[in-house]
Amino acid sequence: MIDRRKFLVSSALCLGGVVLSDATAPVPAAWASDGPDAAAFSFDDLVARMKARAGQPYEAPPKVLPDQLSDLSYDEHRAIRYVPERALWRGAGLEYEMQAFHPGWLFDTPVEIVEVSGGAARPLHFTGADFEYRAPLDAAAMQTIDLPGVAGFRLHYPINRPDYFDELLAFLGASYFRALGRGNIYGLSARGLAIDTAAGRPEEFPRFSRFYLERPEPGQKHIRLWAELDSERVAGAYAFTVMPGVNTEIEVDARIFFRDRVERLGIAPLTSMYLFGENDRTGFDDYRPEVHDSDGLMMLRRSGERLWRPLLNPRALGLSFFYEESLLGFGLMQRDRDFDSYQDTEAHYERRPSLWIEPLDDWGAGHVMLAEIPSDREIHDNIAAFWIPATQPEAGSDLRFRYRMVWGSEPEPGFDLASVLRTRTGHAGTAASNIDPSQRKFVVEFQGEQLARAGGDAPVEPKFWCQNAHLLTQQLQWLDTGVWRFIFDLQREDDAKPVEMTLALTLNGRTITETWMYQWNQMV
Same domain, 305 and 167: yes
- CATH number of the structural domain spanning residue 256: 2.70.98.10
Q: What pTM, to 2 d.p., does this model score?
A: 0.92
Same domain, 192 and 317: yes
Domain that holds residue 87: 4-408
- CATH number of the structural domain spanning residue 507: 2.60.40.10
Q: Given this model, what pLDDT does residue 53 score?
A: 98
| High-pLDDT (> 90) share of the chain, % | 84
**pLDDT tens figures, 165-217:** 999 999 999 999 999 999 999 999 999 999 999 999 999 999 999 999 999 99
Compute and round to an integer the Cα radius of gyration of the chain. Answer: 25
Domain contains 414: no
Same domain, 390 and 433: no
Name, in order, each residue with C-beta under 8 angstroms of 192's C-beta and a sequence gap of 6 or more.
175, 177, 206, 208, 227, 229, 236, 238, 254
DSSP for 235-254 reads: EEEEEEEEE-SSEEEEEEEE
Last residue of one domain, picked from the residues 351, 382, 408? 408
Query: Are the CB atoms for 86 and 132 separated by under 8 Å?
Result: no
Query: Are the CB atoms for 324 and 155 separated by under 8 Å?
Result: no
Q: Given this model, what pLDDT does residue 34 score?
A: 47
What is the amino acid identity at position 170? Answer: A
Same domain, 261 and 347: yes
**Better-scored residue on pLDDT, 46 or 452:** 46
Q: Given this model, what pLDDT does residue 7 score?
A: 47
**Better-scored residue on pLDDT, 200 or 523:** 200
Last residue of one domain, picked from the residues 362, 389, 408? 408
**pLDDT tens figures, 468-520:** 999 999 999 999 889 999 999 999 999 999 999 999 999 999 999 999 999 99
Determine the Cα–Cα distance for residues 149 and 172; give it in Å rounded to an integer: 13
Same domain, 404 and 426: no
**Better-scored residue on pLDDT, 17 or 426:** 426
Query: Are the CB atoms for 53 and 235 separated by under 8 Å?
Result: yes
Domain contains 105: yes
Q: Note the Cα 46 to chain centre separation in Å.
A: 26
3-class DSSP state of 98: strand
* CA trace torsion 432, 436, 439, 445 (10° rounding): 40
Same domain, 255 and 300: yes
* Number of domains observed in the structure of the chain: 2
Same domain, 94 and 121: yes
Same domain, 121 and 220: yes
Q: Chain-wide mean pLDDT for the chain?
A: 91
**pLDDT tens figures, 294-347:** 999 999 999 999 999 999 999 899 999 999 999 999 999 999 999 999 999 999
Cis before residue 136, ω within 30 degrees of 0?
yes
DSSP for 23-56 reads: S-PPPPGGG-S-STT-EE--HHHHHHHHHHHHTS
User: Can you name the residues that pair with 36 across neighbouring β-strands?
Assistant: none
Same domain, 513 and 385: no
3-class DSSP state of 473: strand
Same domain, 382 and 475: no
Domain contains 413: no
Last residue of one domain, picked from the residues 376, 408, 440? 408
Q: Range with the lowest mean pLDDT among 226-240, 357-371, 401-415?
A: 401-415
Length of the chain: 524
Determine the Cα–Cα distance for residues 127 and 147; give it in Å rounded to an integer: 5
Same domain, 399 and 442: no
Same domain, 376 and 433: no
**pLDDT tens figures, 232-283:** 999 999 999 999 999 999 999 999 999 999 999 999 999 999 999 999 877 8
Domain contains 203: yes
Q: Note the Cα 194 to chain centre separation in Å.
A: 12
